[in-house]
């Protein structure tokens, strides 16, 4: 495909600051061509044709997966690189102990040296995009400059990308600047730098989604969290779902889980048959990121800033997430999955009778070489293809939240569900939540770490200040969402999961909605209000005596040790930690030891 097939005017924008920045980047990176992207179908088809021609993508079985493609990453470029991700603020303490820090001067110097001449022989794509509905006052815009056609194609699915976004940028005059190059895909020359006070991002050396799709974690969380603090809102690593009762009332819930802990499954939950027969429905607003701010009525209103799903493939099946499987049957980009003999995507846990022929490297599958699909293999697809997609996803004012849920992988101690006493206690629950690590990030898997609000890799400033920002919302309104903690991953004495999860998580959501409405009971404990087994609808579940006892158990001694550990963790933030959280942690610890 001729590089000039996508040619556009060299100055298609009326915004001087945008035009000048693009010219500066072009002078630095020296591409062979500059392409301003308009987000059109014709443009997308040309991009795909180009990638098919150069081997960057491979077309999948058109009969089973029409309009779908496979991309294989470099084997050393398959996950987020948290240890190479920096927040560049003038003062180290403003980045906090939760981030790797570099001064802005050093960060720019290091990155600009890498970017110098890096796009020779390549096309430089200019991608204007909007995070959130184009006409939403909660939405924010950005421009990503990249030399990866794969990134452009994914950004078209994941954001509102193109002409309409450019119009809003020109109208508002401000945007987040994102500069990306795949570079040489050398792990030794791979860095991601965030400059929150400049609203800019520089990413070099990776083509992997979380490192290269700069609208996603880089903008929508690290930069947006900084924006949100200054502007009085919250940018969070949360799914958003709507729960419609048989009476036709819909409650919206936001939930924070670390990556690969079931967020997409919960966002697309299908209630058990007995619930569906009664009229319960679940609507998907978003599966990964939530921006929320107080409305005029004091409630928090939330939008999903993304337009698509960048989901983890392994474990996704018609049993675990039928809505996700229905969503990805067409017009989907798969990354690092395996292939069957008839050119269909395959991964561990997909179910059915198909088997892998080629692994994610493109080799004939041999179990001795490891799993067929990479454990962090992905699918990228428009959210509008999801059967449970909520029309309220396009509501420019967002949806009102009834509850916020925190959770992670905890094989012991943490019960199935409990409720915070108030907003301050809810912030402590979120601030201290822990989870076993997964394959979504580089490093060891299965290690328990504190992951506040599931934002450990994503908060763009000091966690102590972040906790204070959360607490500040209680000063603005007394109509905030109720806060809960769930744990789908409790294990029994034999090491197996005690709770069936997936669609049966509806039973926990029902109790939460009933609590919000004042229609369910619970027992007060130092850690919060816990249901008893009879408070949840467990009809039809084959739970053992051990499972029932363990899932609803409150282990006072175990929690006393947990709160000692929480206290040690909070010490990391020193004087930046809000005194209210320290006092509350100590008060609960005393109750547990009393």
> Annotation-wise, does 331 bind a ligand?
no
Pairing state between β 399-407 and 482-486: parallel
Q: 300 φ, ψ to 5°?
A: -85, 130
CA–CA distances in Å: residue 332 to residues 68, 212, 217, 266, 315 = 5, 18, 20, 21, 17
> Annotation-wise, does 390 bind a ligand?
no
> Annotation-wise, does 265 bind a ligand?
yes
What angle (nearest 5°) sits at the alpha carbon of residue 588, between those of residues 434 and 409?
A: 15
Locate 24 and state its tokens. 């500066």
> Annotation-wise, does 262 bind a ligand?
yes
- 3 state SS of 397: coil
The dihedral built from the CA positions of residue 454, 458, 462 and 467, taken in this order, carries a sign that is negative
> Annotation-wise, does 288 bind a ligand?
yes
Active-site residue among 37, 88, 118, 261? 261
What angle (nearest 5°) sits at the alpha carbon of residue 399, between those of residues 407 and 379?
A: 60
CA–CA distances in Å: residue 141 to residues 36, 99, 136, 161 = 16, 24, 11, 10
Alpha-helical segments (H) within 362-481? 423-432, 463-476
> Annotation-wise, does 217 bind a ligand?
yes
> Annotation-wise, does 168 bind a ligand?
no
> Annotation-wise, does 502 bind a ligand?
yes
> Annotation-wise, does 80 bind a ligand?
yes
> Annotation-wise, does 539 bind a ligand?
no
> Annotation-wise, does 505 bind a ligand?
yes
The two most distant CA atoms of the chain are separated, in Å, by: 75
> Annotation-wise, does 259 bind a ligand?
yes
CA–CA distances in Å: residue 123 to residues 44, 148, 180 = 15, 8, 12
Place of tokens 């403003």: 94
Residue 261 known to be catalytic: yes
> Annotation-wise, does 260 bind a ligand?
yes
115 sits in which H/E element: helix 104-115
Residue 246, strand partner residues = none
> Annotation-wise, does 209 bind a ligand?
yes
411 sits in which H/E element: none
The 10 Å Cβ neighbour count of residue 409 is 23
CA–CA distances in Å: residue 539 to residues 427, 429, 552 = 33, 30, 16
Provide the annotated binding site for Mn(2+): 217, 237, 288
Provide the annotated binding site for substrate: 80, 208-210, 259, 376-378
Provide the annotated binding site: 80, 208-210, 217, 237, 259-265, 288, 376-378, 409, 502-505
Residues with catalytic roles = 261
Provide the annotated binding site for GTP: 260-265, 378, 409, 502-505
């Amino acid at each position: 495909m001729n590089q000039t097939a996508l040619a556009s005017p060299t100055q298609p924008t009326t915004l001087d600051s945008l035009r000048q920045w693009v010219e500066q980047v072009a002078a630095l990176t020296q591409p062979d061509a500059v392409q301003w992207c308009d987000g059109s179908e014709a443009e997308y088809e040309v991009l795909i044709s180009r990638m098919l021609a150069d081997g960057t993508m491979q077309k999948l079985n058109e009969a089973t997966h029409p309009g779908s493609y496979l991309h294989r990453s470099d084997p050393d470029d398959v996950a987020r690189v948290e240890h190479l991700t920096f927040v560049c603020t003038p003062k180290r303490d403003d980045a906090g102990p939760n981030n790797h820090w570099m001064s802005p001067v050093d960060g720019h110097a290091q990155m600009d040296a890498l970017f110098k001449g890096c796009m020779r022989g390549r096309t430089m794509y200019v991608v204007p995009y909007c995070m959130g509905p184009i006409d939403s006052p909660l939405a924010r815009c950005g421009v990503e400059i990249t030399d990866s056609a794969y990134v452009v194609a994914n950004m078209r699915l994941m954001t509102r990308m193109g002409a309409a976004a450019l119009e809003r940028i020109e109208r508002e005059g401000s945007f987040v600047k994102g500069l990306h190059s795949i570079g040489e895909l050398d792990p030794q020359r791979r860095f991601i730098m965030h400059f929150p006070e400049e609203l800019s991002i520089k990413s070099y050396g990776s083509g992997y989604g979380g490192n290269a799709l700069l609208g996603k974690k880089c903008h929508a969380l690290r930069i947006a969290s900084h924006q949100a603090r200054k502007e009085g809102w919250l940018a969070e690593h949360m799914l958003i779902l709507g729960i419609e009762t048989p009476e036709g009332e819909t409650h919206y819930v936001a939930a924070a889980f670390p990556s690969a802990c079931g967020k997409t499954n919960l966002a697309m939950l299908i209630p058990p048959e007995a619930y569906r027969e009664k009229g319960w429905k679940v609507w998907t607003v978003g599966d990964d990121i939530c921006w929320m701010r107080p409305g005029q009525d004091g409630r928090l209103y939330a939008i999903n800033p993304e337009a698509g799903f960048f989901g983890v493939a392994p474990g996704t099946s018609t049993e675990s997430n039928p809505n996700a499987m229905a969503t990805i049957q067409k017009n989907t980009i798969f990354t690092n999955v395996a292939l069957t003999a008839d050119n269909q995507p395959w991964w561990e846990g997909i179910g059915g009778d198909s088997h892998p022929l080629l692994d994610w490297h493109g080799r004939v599958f041999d179990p001795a070489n490891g799993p067929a699909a990479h454990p962090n293999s992905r699918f990228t697809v428009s959210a509008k293809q999801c059967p449970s997609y909520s029309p309220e996803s396009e509501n420019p004012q967002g949806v009102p939240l009834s509850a916020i849920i925190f959770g992670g992988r905890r094989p012991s101690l943490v019960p199935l569900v409990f409720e915070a006493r108030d907003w301050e206690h809810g912030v402590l629950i979120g601030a201290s939540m822990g989870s076993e690590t997964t394959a979504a990030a580089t490093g060891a898997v299965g290690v328990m770490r504190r992951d506040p609000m599931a934002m450990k890799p994503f908060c763009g400033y000091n966690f102590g200040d972040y906790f204070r920002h959360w607490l500040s919302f209680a000063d603005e309104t007394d109509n905030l969402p109720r806060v809960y903690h769930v744990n789908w991953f409790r294990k029994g004495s034999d090491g197996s999961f005690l709770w069936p999860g997936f669609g049966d998580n509806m039973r926990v959501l029902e109790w939460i909605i009933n609590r919000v409405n004042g229609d369910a009971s619970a027992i007060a404990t130092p850690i919060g209000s816990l249901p008893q087994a009879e408070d949840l609808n467990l009809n039809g579940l084959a739970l053992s005596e051990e499972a029932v006892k363990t899932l609803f158990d409150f282990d006072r001694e175990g929690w006393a040790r947990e709160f000692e550990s929480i206290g040690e963790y909070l010490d990391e933030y020193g004087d930046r930690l809000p005194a209210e959280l320290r006092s509350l942690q100590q008060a609960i610890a005393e109750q547990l030891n009393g």
